[in-house]
Structure 1
Amino acid sequence: MTPPDPLQSPTLEHKTLLWLVAVVTVAFVLILLPFVGAVLWAIFIAIVFAPVHRRVQRQANRRPTLAALLTLLLILLIVILPLIMVGFSVVQEASVVVQKVRSGELQFGQYLQRMLDALPPWGRAVLERFDLVNVGALQQRLTGLLTSSGQIITTRLLGIGQITLDFVIAFFVMLYLLFFLLRDGARLSERIAEAIPLQEQQTHRLLGQFVTVVRATVKGNIVIALIQGVLGGLAFWVLGLPGPLLWGALMALLSLLPAVGAALVWGPVALYFLFTGEIVAGLGLTAWGVLVIGLVDNLLRPILVGKDTRMPDYLVLIATLGGIAVFGLNGFVIGPVIAAMFLVAWNLFTTIRKQPNGGVQG
């Protein structure tokens, strides 16, 4: 009997194929790294607007290319272009605020001194313990921080040509990929489900949770953050505070973090008004922040997000902060998605272990 040739073993062929798939996949991911933000946002937007695309497709008599173009145009007009315009306005307002601080027109030291003068003796004692009553030093630190930020902004503005080129390229890649994801997304998801080496039920659960978390994070959190930012900026504008658009954008960004949110911005301002004797402005801003900005989160989040994510707030907070630290601004979506996939994967693993024969089907 002739011994089997190890070079023609099916096991060797399977291992070689697995290694080939792994190496090619890693190489493909490395190629995508320069455009990872554009690719991810194309996927996220396609998932969020999938229900809208299906309605457009029915109106377009099931013509996939026309439906994808119409949906893409709709996304551009109602979402992307307004956000770009607001972003440029925020950058311009931030530059104006930095210039006012550097020129001395806007002096935070005066505001700090007024708050310190209004504090009771025990409050000043606590601040003295932490060396926080030296207004000059605090003013110098704040001015230095804003000056360095201004230098960064100035450098970016001087290199706007390169930034614009990078932005245009990434923007084009996102739109180009988004068109094909809208047109061929159903077929692509089916191919991905077939390629994942899991049982069909497990694959559907994983992909379903991925879609649910992306929709909940983007549709719910971003919409809520934008509404809270607009309400906060409106309150600052009514009170005559400088840079209401800038502070509104900051409140919108912080609103992405559960449990803390926009109160990190309007809270200190309300305390300043109360400490300095402007009781009406302080109480008004506090009432607006608690009853209006806070209730937006409590009322809209269950409607837009629901309980589909099944993640506690502390896990969402940690995942969001960790995602932002690792992936930048894109991390506020990537972090919760990874956390949700972590929970689903371990739940699947635990369920399979509890089944007879480890869940292996005969």
Structure 2
Amino acid sequence: MFNTRIIFWVIAFASVIGAVILITPFLPAILWATVFSILMYPTYLKLRKKNWPANVAALTVTLAPLLLVITPLAVFGTFGGIQVYEYVNSWVAESKANGEQDFLVTAATQLDTLIEPILSQMGVKNFDLVQIINENKDQLAKNITGPLTKGLSSFVVMIVTLVISVLTTFFMVRDSHHLLDPVSDIIPLPKDQTRDILNRMARTVRSVFFAVFIVAILQGFLCGMAFLVAGVEAWLVLMLAATVAAMIPLLGAPTVYVPVGLLLILNHKPVAGVSILVFGFLVVSQLDNFLRPYFIGKETKIHSMAIFFSLLGGVLVMGPVGLMAGPMLLTLILAITDVLRAKEQNEEQEENGPEPQPA
């Protein structure tokens, strides 16, 4: 009997480990699917109330946001790529006009011209980026090959993750009401407390989505409009860069608009440069101080500092999906803590007995 029980638990433990190993490669896709399904499930319920078939409603709420996201990205990415292509062609043409065939040297020469005033004020002299490149061309070529290969591999993984996320989102949205009871049975808590925890996590996902992604898109758009008005030629590429930077804790839109403003000032365009810096500090960056705390605090009731560290830790550990997974984990921990605290208070009240009624 004893040996049979040991064998059972060994097999059960090995099965759990095997399941974890099988799921681990798909964990980012599952997490993104969880986020998307939470965001779109209220819309799915509205469509079902209008007598839409379950499959049609689930497919609609799965593909519609995907098209709304992919279409702008494709448009902006295409125009951004055109801008980059035009700059590369202009640099190559300039290098040929100067009798040089090395595009990298031409770009380094222009960069030397831009940063020389800054380095001189910092006391750095005799800095020659062109000389450094000429002395390390072979090593640079080897170092570039690796990131390019890795970047191509990451792109393929991203496409596969997206496809798996879309399929998983469809089934999560359509069958979520069937999945809720098994999940509640697995969690060793009363069903009402389990549902409360899941609802809190759903509210966290929605609030963090608006606080991170919507605010970042708004910041990137404002930066892009400022660059366009200031006459920055690569305004579209810089707008995309500002949007991505605004999503990442510790970076933010200032990592884009501050260098742009300083470069405009150094290129004898002080009005445009100062205008971008002032607009960035007074308008773009202030969205972090007003809108993000509003979105996060309105639903989650969690301190902004705790959300910040959960975002930062999630990104460092899990990559982009950590922007949502970090706050979800924080909410889960806080919810379980509240449940344990309430349970402890109930036990203390039972031990002490009911308070005596006044005579």
TM-score range, shorter chain: 0.7 to 0.9
Cα deviation digits, residues 15-46 of structure 1 (max 9, x gap): 957x6655433322211222222221111111
Q: Select which of 16, 21, 25 maps to 1:34.
A: 25
Alignment partner of 2:69 out of 69, 74, 79: 79
The letter for the 2-side match of 1:66 is V
Aligned to 2:128: 136
Q: Which residue of 2 aligns with 1:256?
A: 247
| Residue 187 (1) aligns with residue 178 (2) | yes
Change (3 A) 1:344 1:85: farther
Q: Give CA-to-partner distance per residue, 1:307-354, whole Å, 9 cap, x none.
A: 323333333333222222221222222222223323333333334333
- Residue 188 of structure 1 aligns with an amino acid whose one-letter code is L
> Is the aligned partner of 1:155 residue 2:149?
yes
Equivalent in 113, 116, 121 of residue 110 of structure 1: 113
SS in 1 for 2:189: coil
Q: How does 1:3-82 map to 2 (within 5 A)?
A: 16=8, 22-59=13-50, 61-82=51-72
| Equivalent AA in structure 2 for residue 114 of structure 1 | P
Taking the aligned partners of 1:21 and 1:146, their CA distance within structure 2 comes to 51
Counterpart-to-counterpart distance in 2, 1:276 and 1:154: 32
Greater displacement, 190-199 / 89-98: 89-98
Other-structure match for 2:99: none
Residue identity over aligned pairs, in percent, reads 24
Unpaired stretches in structure 1, ≥5 consecutive residues: 118-123
Find out whether 1:342 has 2:336 as its counterpart: no
Question: Which deviations, in whole Å up to 9, do the C-alpha atoms of 1:39-79 show, x marking residues without a partner?
Answer: 211111111111222222223x0521121122223122212
CA positional deviation for 1:297: 3.7
Q: Which residue of 2 aligns with 1:120?
A: none
Q: Which residue of 2 aligns with 1:173?
A: 164
- The secondary structure found in structure 1 opposite 2:285 is helix
How far, CA to CA, are the matches of 2:229 and 2:140 in structure 1?
A: 25
More displaced 10-residue stretch of structure 1: 222-231 or 243-252: 243-252
TM-aligned CA distance change 1:139 to 1:54, over 3 Å: farther
- TM-score of the two chains, using structure 2 as the length reference: 0.76
Q: 1:264 to 1:167 in 2, by over 3 A?
A: closer
* CA–CA distance in structure 2, aligned partners of residues 359 and 89 of structure 1: 68
SS in 2 for 1:307: helix
Question: By how many angstroms is 1:167 displaced?
Answer: 4.4
User: What amino acid sits opposite 1:67 in the alignment?
Assistant: A
The residue type equivalent to 2:104 in the other structure is R
> Are the equivalent residues in 2 in contact too, given 1:102–1:147 (CA < 8 A)?
no
Q: TM-score, normalization: structure 1?
A: 0.75
The equivalent residue for 1:121 is none
Asked if the contact 1:98–1:146 (Cα under 8 Å) also holds between the matched residues in 2, the reply is: no
Equivalent position of 1:322 in the other structure: 313
| Counterpart contact for 1:324–1:332, Cα < 8 Å | yes
Does the CA contact (< 8 Å) of 1:57 and 1:63 recur in 2? yes
Letter in 2 for 1:73: L
Q: C-alpha distance in 1, partners of 2:45/2:299?
A: 22
Code of the aligned partner of 1:155: T
Q: How far apart in 2 are the matches of 1:91 and 1:34?
A: 31
Distance 1:345 1:91, change over 3 A: farther
Structure-2 change in CA distance of 1:95 and 1:322 (3 Å): farther
User: Aligned with 1:241: secondary structure?
Assistant: coil
* 2-structure distance, mates of 1:181, 1:238: 45
CA shift, 1:102, in A, is 1.9
- Work out the number of aligned pairs and report it: 335
Letter in 2 for 1:69: L
Q: Aligned letter for 1:76?
A: L
CA deviation after TM superposition for structure 1 residue 285, in Å: 0.5
| Counterparts of 1:173 and 1:244, CA distance in 2 | 34
> Residue 156 and residue 26 in structure 1: after superposition, are their counterparts in 2 closer, same or farther (change >3 A)?
closer
Matched residue SS, 1:255: helix
Contact persistence 2:207–2:296 (CA under 8 A): yes
For 2:281 and 2:341, locate their aligned partners in 1 and report how far apart those are by CA, in whole Å: 42
- Superposed displacement of residue 305, structure 1: 3.9
Q: Distance in 1 between matches of 2:344 and 2:88?
A: 58
